[in-house]
Amino acid sequence: MNPDLIYFFQTLLNGLAVGSMYSMIAVGYSMVYCLLNRVNFAHGDLYVFGTFISFSMMQIFPIPAAILFACLLAGLIGMTIERTVYRPVRDAFRLVPMISALGAALVLRTIAQIVWGTEALAFPSLLPGGYLEIAGLKLFYKNFVIIGISLFIVIGLTCFMRYTKLGRATQCIVESLSTASLMGIPINRIIPLIYALGGFFGVVGGVAYSSYYGVVSMDMGIWGTIKAWAAVILGGVGTTYGAFIGGLILGLAETFASGYLSSAYKEAVGYIVIIAILMLKPTGLLGKKRIEKV
Amino acid sequence: MKKAALKDFFSKKSTRIFLLAILFAGLTVAPFVTNTLTKRIISTIFIYSLLSMGNMVIGGFTGMLNLGHAAFWGVGAYITAILMTGYNVPFSAAFLAAGIGTALVGLVVSIPCLRLSTDFLSLITIAFSYIFLAVVRNWMSVTKGPQGIPGISCINFFGVDFSSANAVYFVLFAVAVVSFIVISNITKSKFGLAMQAVRDDELGARSAGIKPAQVKILSFVIGTFFAGLAGALYAAYIGYIGPNTFTFDTSTTIFQMCILGGLGSIPGAVVGTVFFVVMPETIRTLAVYRVGVGGVIMLLLMLFRPQGIMGSRAFATKDGIQERIKNKLIARKVANVQKHV
Amino acid sequence: MGYLLEVRDLKMYFGGVHAVDGISFEVGQGEIIGIIGPNGSGKTTLINAVTGVYNPTAGTILFDGMDITSKKMENLVSLGICRTFQNLKLHKALTVLQNVIVGEHLANDSNFFDAVFRTKRFRQNEKRARELAMTELEKVGLAGNASDFVSELPYGMQKKLEIARALVMKPKLLILDEPTAGMNSVEAKEQIDLVKKLNQETGLSVILIEHNMKLLMNSVNRVLAIDAGKEIARGLPSEVQNNSRVISAYLGED
């Protein structure tokens, strides 16, 4: 096969894997974001915190148990953050909950830095190594595992939102918090649950990311929040698979930018793609236009 | 009752003028009686207060979460540094160019708000801050990449050199005071009112004939203009600039200054600046906790006093913890009274 | 000729939902027109389409003979169309007085230079804005609350404040979307009387959207009744009140 073509497909495959990791972080974020339409700055630091915990747990417990424990703990922390930081200011001025979440993020970051230090740590590679070579194209197994996990998560969450009672109730809250509350939907039980789910799947994404690159560091936190937020906005607020597609596009844009331009500009190119798409379609790719109720 | 009396005392115009005069006198005497470190901290406060006041216009008045303010600051600093070291432009001209150039960048960054909602614009400011850093770190021929630009000559207005530490101090002081007056005047005018109207209810503002996109762009231009001036002062004050000063974390800190000081209050921005410049200096040995202290303050502030130190009490929520505790106390008192009856 | 506002065959579709489906009406100089209809009949959507909150799907709107069909709300103010909202759109972190001064925005011709340097023109404009705002607050009976924050006012007063904000713009046509919503019958009566008084004193034309038919009967010149986005009756209040289609629309009969 033509080497240029091989390079293209190789980049595509890498891009899909990177995009899948963004998607994993983004789908969890998407639910939390849609729920109240407030930027949740704590999401990134929460999932990295969870990844750190799984890292420490792995030294003692078997790996699956360690990851599960970290996911559950992150879910619990997510719920706690909702209860202590979000709920009291839910009806406040738009910026207030965002800033309180930022405060929570900074606190989490500091705790992590005190416990695990400020340096990045080497994360064990949990994904299968090796690759299959077809016509000069190296198909890394880890890429497929990552893509598989993220597809599984997004399909699972989409089904959850569509077909379960809890998922439908969540959609009602997304539509209108006050109406949902008036209709007897127990919002104060469902919202923490969604925060917990967001934290849970965030850690899945975080562990996948850290084992893919073999590193975990607290800097991934705010970075993750921004990537997830960007992916959600790009895909369109309000759908789980919108976040998934947004994450994929972001990953592809960055990987192609570093493959063909320069890795120094990859983030910049990612953002330029987002801005360009948003300028063409202000509601995001799959976002529905909301009719403003006056 | 005592609290009310205290409030009265502080809200009196004469008291305020008196306090301001004391502050002014103190700052004037300060460079002659304090050490170099204190002088440097106060000078840093002057520069940062330009940033926080500018961001207050964008965030506190128009309600936009601008998370790229440090990048705008960087634009101003780099314009100054490049003009002064590469083209031998005098500081006075570079100073103006930094303000105007940065305001133009602010204009371009804020133009998407014609089509996008306010929250999406925050994402664009974040994107801008990353794009700025990528360009500065990699455009070696102009910005000298990660090493930064050294050897920027000191502040010099129209041929008068302000090279002594005290002279620089007074230049920064003067610029900060003038900026404070200009920004206060703008925010107290119909432009400031329009910004607040847009912040509180866009549709309501539109029904009064205000065009929200114009107001948002205007506030961006004003805020980034002062960020550009701050950049020029910073470059000439330190004499060296590098990309690591103008990061996302710095933007977050600038925003925190505004929040702590109080949304919609220009004096508040200054108060917030004082805190966030002085706090890291005092716990220098415990650098790890610096971010955490900022975080805890944000949390407590949002839960107990969302309006910040000097913000309008209208930002306090009815549903806030403070209110709920008060209601609980009242309920307990009522129950007590009922028991006795 | 002679009508202040003419709406011709206005349609507002949201996907498959025909929220307003071919409504025509007109408002004469100095008239009060009532628009009534049950909940969800499309009254508010109609007004939103007229005032440029939405861009109508089809139809024309003429104001003073000028086509304003796809003009946005912020551009209608200078022509003389002002409105209030069903769900209050006030500026919560501003005081009552400041809220009204917001309405004075367009009339204030201070420029940026004036604002920075506090010129004489700036001070005069600020003084005039405050005085005008106070006058309007007195008209609606809120002068005593000028320095309160909006969130501290009871709901009924907030409704009045919205009217004051609209009045300070010196409109030719004032559109009030359910100005009595959430009020008890005494307050509602007062509110309608206030509108009537404004109309009589200044010759202001008014469109009054109201859910409660009875309230309008003695105060409006003509009534337009709509249901499911279509006109079901129009004419004098007494005629519309006894119209069988209106009665069945309100009682939910078919």
Q: How many CB pairs under 8 A join A and B?
A: 141
Task: Decide if A93 and C93 are in contact by the 8 Å CB cutoff.
Answer: yes
Q: What is the pLDDT of residue A99?
A: 84
> What is the nearest CA distance from A227 to chain B, expressed in angstroms?
10
What is the arithmetic mean of pLDDT over B311-319?
Answer: 68
The strand ranges marked E within chain C are 3-14, 17-28, 32-36, 58-63, 66-67, 81-83, 173-177, 205-210, 222-227, 230-235
**Tokens 């005085």 belong to which residue?**
C131
Question: Widest CA span of chain C, in angstroms?
Answer: 67
- Which residues 176-235 on chain A approach chain B with CB closer than 8 angstroms? 222, 226, 229-230, 233
Q: What is the pLDDT of residue A48?
A: 92
Tokens of A10: 């190789």
Q: What is the pLDDT of residue A293?
A: 60
Q: What is the pLDDT of residue B336?
A: 74
The residue ranking higher by pLDDT, C213 or A8, is A8
Give the C-alpha separation, B110 to B128, whole Å: 10
| B325 has pLDDT over 70 | no
| C1 has pLDDT over 60 | no
ipTM: 0.90
DSSP three-state, residue A58: helix
Taking contacts as CB-CB distances below 8 angstroms, the residues of chain B near C117 are 185
Q: What is the pLDDT of residue A132?
A: 84
pLDDT tens per residue, range B243-264: 999 998 899 899 989 988 988 8
Look up residue C53 and give its amino acid.
V
| A291 has pLDDT over 70 | no
Task: Decide if B206 and C166 are in contact by the 8 Å CB cutoff.
Answer: no
**Minimum Cα–Cα distance from B316: chain C residue:** C93
| B285 has pLDDT over 70 | no
Q: State the CB neighbour count (10 A cutoff) for residue A40.
A: 28
pLDDT tens per residue, range C5-64: 999 999 999 888 889 998 999 999 999 999 988 888 889 999 999 999 999 999 999 999
Contact B115/A at CB under 8 A: yes
| B320 has pLDDT over 60 | no
The strand ranges marked E within C120-213 are 173-177, 205-210
Give the right CATH number for A27-280 from 1.10.3470, 3.40.50, 2.40.10, 1.10.10.
1.10.3470
Contact C72/B at CB under 8 A: yes
Contact A36/B at CB under 8 A: no
- Residues near A183 by beta carbon (within 8 Å), at least 6 away in sequence: A172
- Residues near A176 by beta carbon (within 8 Å), at least 6 away in sequence: none
Contact C129/B at CB under 8 A: yes
Residue A294: pLDDT band with limits 50, 70, 90: low
- Which residues 265-294 on chain A approach chain C with CB closer than 8 angstroms? 291-294
Contact A110/B at CB under 8 A: yes
Task: Decide if A294 and C93 are in contact by the 8 Å CB cutoff.
Answer: no
Q: What is the pLDDT of residue C224?
A: 92
Give the C-alpha separation, B293 to B270, whole Å: 19
Residue C218 has phi, psi (to 5 degrees) of -95, -5
Give the C-alpha separation, C193 to A121, whole Å: 73
pLDDT tens per residue, range C77-111: 999 999 999 888 999 889 999 999 999 888 888 88
Residue B198: pLDDT band with limits 50, 70, 90: very high
Q: State the CB neighbour count (10 A cutoff) for residue B211.
A: 17
Task: Decide if B203 and C114 are in contact by the 8 Å CB cutoff.
Answer: no
Tokens of B266: 């220009």
- Identify the weakest region by mean pLDDT among A180-184, A285-289, B257-261, B316-320: B316-320
- Optimal mutation site among B178, B183, B206, B207, interface C, most CBs of chain C within 10 A: B207
Nearest to B298 by CA among B264, B248, B267, B252: B252
- Give the C-alpha distances (Å, rounded to integers) separating A5 from A11, A136, B75: 10, 10, 40
Q: What is the pLDDT of residue B162?
A: 76
- Optimal mutation site among A80, A86, A100, interface B, most CBs of chain B within 10 A: A100
Q: What is the pLDDT of residue B324?
A: 59
Residue B272: pLDDT band with limits 50, 70, 90: very high
Contact criterion met (CB below 8 Å) for B101 and B79: yes
| A84 has pLDDT over 70 | yes
What is the arithmetic mean of pLDDT over C139-165?
Answer: 88
> What is the nearest CA distance from C143 to chain A, expressed in angstroms?
27
Long-range contacts at A136-140 (CB < 8 A, ≥ 24 apart)? A136/A1, A136/A3, A136/A6, A137/A1, A137/A6, A137/A9, A137/A10, A137/A13, A138/A10, A139/A13, A140/A13, A140/A17
Tokens of A153: 């998560």
Q: What is the pLDDT of residue A247?
A: 92
In chain B, % of residues over pLDDT 90: 46
Contact C117/B at CB under 8 A: yes
Neighbors of chain A with 3 or more C-beta pairs under 8 Å: B, C
- Residues near C188 by beta carbon (within 8 Å), at least 6 away in sequence: C180, C212, C215
**Tokens 């530490």 belong to which residue?**
B165
**Minimum Cα–Cα distance from B180: chain C residue:** C116
pLDDT tens per residue, range A129-188: 888 888 778 888 888 999 999 999 989 888 888 898 888 888 888 877 778 888 888 888
| C206 has pLDDT over 90 | yes
> What is the nearest CA distance from A96 to chain C, expressed in angstroms?
13
> What is the nearest CA distance from C199 to chain A, expressed in angstroms?
25
Burial of B305 (0-12, 13-18, 19+ CB in 10 A): middle
**Minimum Cα–Cα distance from A290: chain B residue:** B117
Residue A292: pLDDT band with limits 50, 70, 90: low
Q: What is the pLDDT of residue A126?
A: 81
What is the arithmetic mean of pLDDT over C183-200?
Answer: 88
Task: Decide if B295 and A102 are in contact by the 8 Å CB cutoff.
Answer: yes
DSSP three-state, residue A97: helix
| B319 has pLDDT over 70 | no
pLDDT tens per residue, range A240-277: 788 899 999 999 999 999 988 888 888 888 888 888 88
Neighbors of chain B with 3 or more C-beta pairs under 8 Å: A, C
| B326 has pLDDT over 60 | yes
Q: What is the pLDDT of residue B321?
A: 54
Helix axes B165-188 and B13-33, enclosed angle (nearest 10): 160
- Give the C-alpha distances (Å, rounded to integers) separating C136 from C140, C155, C163: 7, 18, 9
Residue B280: pLDDT band with limits 50, 70, 90: confident
The residue ranking higher by pLDDT, A154 or A288, is A154
Helix or strand holding residue A132 (H, E) = strand A131-134
- Residues near A19 by beta carbon (within 8 Å), at least 6 away in sequence: A247, A248, A249, A250, A251, A252, A255
> Which residue in A39, A92, A282 is closest to B116 by CB distance?
A282
| B299 has pLDDT over 70 | yes
Contact criterion met (CB below 8 Å) for A22 and A28: no
**Tokens 């109508």 belong to which residue?**
C56
Q: What is the pLDDT of residue A289?
A: 65
Look up residue C223 and give its amino acid.
V
> Which residue in C93, C149, C169 is closest to B208 by CB distance?
C169
> Which residue in C14, C48, C93 is closest to A294 by CB distance?
C48
The residue ranking higher by pLDDT, B99 or A132, is B99
pLDDT tens per residue, range A86-109: 888 877 777 888 888 888 998 998
Q: What is the pLDDT of residue B328?
A: 67
DSSP three-state, residue B211: coil
Nearest to B57 by CA among B7, B4, B103: B103
Task: Decide if A103 and B302 are in contact by the 8 Å CB cutoff.
Answer: yes
Task: Decide if C87 and A294 are in contact by the 8 Å CB cutoff.
Answer: yes
- Identify the weakest region by mean pLDDT among A287-291, B46-50, C155-159: A287-291
Tokens of B253: 């800190």
Long-range contacts at B304-307 (CB < 8 A, ≥ 24 apart)? B306/A89, B306/A92, B306/A93, B306/A96, B307/B262, B307/B263
| B312 has pLDDT over 90 | no
Taking contacts as CB-CB distances below 8 angstroms, the residues of chain C near B209 are 74-75, 77-78, 105-106, 169
> Which residue in B130, B259, B317 is closest to A268 by CB distance?
B130
Q: What structural domains does chain C harbor?
A: 1-80+171-254 (3.40.50.300), 92-169 (no CATH)
Look up residue A20 and give its amino acid.
S
Nearest to C196 by CA among C219, C179, C175, C217: C219
Residue B69: pLDDT band with limits 50, 70, 90: very high
**Tokens 């009396």 belong to which residue?**
B5
- Give the C-alpha distances (Å, rounded to integers) separating B141 from B129, B245, C161: 20, 20, 60
**Minimum Cα–Cα distance from B307: chain C residue:** C93
Q: Does the CA dihedral A52-A54-A57-A59 come out positive or negative?
A: negative
| A290 has pLDDT over 80 | no
